[in-house]
Structure 1
């Protein structure tokens, strides 16, 4: 089944190295895959200040994080395609890509796929859930032509 996925993108970042709207759309579509026929995602790209505020407000964590996921909590009876909202902090993604020796494009793709899977109900709190989610992320990213995002962790480096 092919999914019809719409990503509404808000850019609230000074970053000059953001992927294209088409990239975000393609990555979300790949993550939604066969889960749903239709999906709508609101994506906000932010800088450190807003990323820090949101991470503190919603997760009670200090400092920014790479991606925050806010699944829609609409009643199923409404039958709307809204999956939820993603907030990705551009400077964190850029820093992590450098630190993990990944291409920026590969790490952006990973964050979009990772966040979209959270919107679909996947989680990584329990080890078995983390293993399932990471395996699915790896498959999706490899199908998109990107390397295994967890390869450095698996090899112990």
Structure 2
């Protein structure tokens, strides 16, 4: 399925740089949507921010007063269209990437993929759901990493 380009990627004002090329994240998320969904893409906004932004959204919308790696908000009014927002905490990726023996950019990519998978209907509320999401994340992070290692 061809995905019309309706992905917007931005940095929150408090984040001056992103340690991963924005175009690489755009290509990755476009691939995830094309391969994992039959939905048309109305609008997907991906925001990269810090603990301050992500935690404030977590408190405001989910009543969770703690840091988290990614938040996804489904704004679709119909199941046939993908419309939503994904907020990725870059500071969490910087703090935790060593724990998972990966790079900061791969960890950021994982969080972005995880958020999009949630918007596409995947859930990690059960062990099976967690395993399936992890499998898909691993698959796409590997694609992302291979693409980053391939000279242009």
Instruction: Extract structure 1 runs of 4+ deviating beyond 4 A.
Output: none
- TM-score of the two chains, using structure 1 as the length reference: 0.78
Alignment of 1:81-96 (within 5 A): 81-96=81-96
Q: What is residue 67 of structure 1 aligned with on the other side? A: 70
Q: What is residue 57 of structure 1 aligned with on the other side? A: 60
Q: What is residue 9 of structure 2 aligned with on the other side? A: 9
Q: 2: distance between equivalents of 1:145 and 1:14?
A: 23
Indicate if the aligned counterparts of 1:41 and 1:83 stay in contact, CA closer than 8 A: yes
Matched, 1:130 2:133: no
Deviation at 1:44, TM superposition (A): 1.4
SS state at 2:6 partner: strand
CA, structure 1 residues 18+142, in 2 after alignment: closer, same or farther (shift >3 Å)?
Answer: closer
CA, structure 1 residues 129+82, in 2 after alignment: closer, same or farther (shift >3 Å)?
Answer: closer
Indicate if the aligned counterparts of 2:46 and 2:88 stay in contact, CA closer than 8 A: yes
Q: Could you tell me which runs of 5 or more consecutive residues in structure 1 were left unpaired when the two chains were aligned.
A: 147-157
Q: Could you tell me which runs of 5 or more consecutive residues in structure 2 were left unpaired when the two chains were aligned.
A: 147-152
Indicate if the aligned counterparts of 1:43 and 1:86 stay in contact, CA closer than 8 A: yes
Deviation at 1:104, TM superposition (A): 1.1
Indicate if the aligned counterparts of 2:9 and 2:26 stay in contact, CA closer than 8 A: no
Aligned length: 143
After superposition, the CA RMSD in angstroms is: 2.1
SS state at 1:28 partner: helix
